[in-house]
Amino acid sequence: MQETPHPFARFVNILGRGKTLTRSLTIEEAEEAMRMILAGETRPEQIGAFLMLLRVKEESGAEIAGFIRAARASFPKLSGAPHVDLDWPSYAGKKRQLPWFLLAAILIARSGWSVFMHGLDGHTAGRVWTGETLQRLGFPIAGGFDEAAGHLRRHRFAYMPLARMSPKLAEMMELRPILGLRSPVHTLARGLNPFAAPTSLQAVFHPGYVAIHRDAAIALREKRTVVFRGDGGENERRPNKPCETLLIADGVCEEVRWPAVFEPRQAPDETMDLDRLEAVWRGSQADEYGEASVVGTAALALWAMGVESDPERAQARAEALWRGRDRGALAAVA
């Protein structure tokens, strides 16, 4: 007796038909496949096969766009959701330098723009993670969309773990040590933008992923997305190296090269002492590389949002914001 194929099997079949017959999913197929996964309509073995076939083939921009559409549709609809200026994904973790990008994001929020940050801690060993660092610095971690909205209204900054945004996506991302490879979830998570901010930063570690993020942003008709190779894959400029950025604005792409702002080669940080973040913010400790990274990353964020029209102006504006910052307690009052 022949069994009827599982409805999800057709997506595995499309991706696994061999060198000559395998093809990428259309954006509609990708959206339906991810909708079924998020709705619990698939078997665990199907998810593993699906993710690894995508990994071997390499995900396309259309596939990532479809996955993002399905994920966004699964988020709750908030009444009176606060405006967010900048969506800031953080999924890579840091292992060679401190997460200086956190000070840049806080500087932007303290200067009047609203920043929503999301990420997932611990899916790769040996890294410093955003959630744990923010907690160490005294920042509240949002347990859901309503709580994140409250943090945004009070502080113009909020961080919510992926597990609170989408438990199923977090579960799939945490399969990395089991499957032995990253999966497309690492790519799609960077484009979730759950509060529909007009600007999103999407750093990559491997330059080959720039085109995937570009094509996904175009397919999703995003207003402003900036893709660049960030330090360790986080949204952080490496101040001692030129930064090649790609701005996708309403379907139009612009390549902009930012010059290095810090000359010496920087050795890996052997201590990764998180207390230095607050010390540098308060001005009680100097760190030339760290401050250059903070200012450079803030400049990139200002340019991404369209606050400044070119790197030179954005850098000058960020330097002024850094000099004029309130050097009091770093964490927001809960």
Tell me the domain boundaries of the chain.
9-74, 86-323
What's the rounded Cα separation, in Å, for the pair 256 and 310?
9
Q: How many CB atoms lie within 10 A of CB 291?
A: 19
Structure tokens at 333: 């009052």
Instruction: Kindly tell me the sign of the dihedral angle through the C-alpha atoms of 237, 85, 216, 163.
Output: positive
Number of H helices, E strands in the chain: 15, 7
pLDDT for 30: 98
Residue of 102, 83, 75 whose CA lies nearest to 189: 75
Q: Kindly report the pTM of this predicted structure.
A: 0.95
What b/e sequence results for 180-201 when a residue is b if at least 16 CB atoms lie within 10 Å of its CB, and e otherwise?
eebbbbbbbbbbbbbbebbbbb
pLDDT by residue (tens digit) across 182-200?
Answer: 889 999 999 999 999 999 9
Whole-angstrom distance, CA of residue 330 vs CA of residue 334: 12
Least confident piece of the model among 142-151, 220-229, 234-243, 265-274: 265-274
Contact 203, 233 (CB under 8 A): yes
What tens digit of pLDDT does each residue of 34-79 get?
999 999 999 999 999 999 999 999 999 999 999 999 999 999 988 8
Which residue type, as a one-letter code, is found at position 176? R
Its CATH architecture, for the domain 86-323, is 3-Layer(aba) Sandwich (3.40)
DSSP conformation class of 232: G
- Asked if residue 180 has pLDDT above 90, the reply is no
**Chain-centre distance of CA 303, in angstroms?**
17
Structure tokens at 200: 């999103």
pLDDT tens digits along 309-331: 999 999 999 999 999 999 988 88
Domain 9-74 has CATH 1.20.970.10: yes
- Model confidence band, residue 124 (pLDDT cutoffs 50, 70, 90): confident
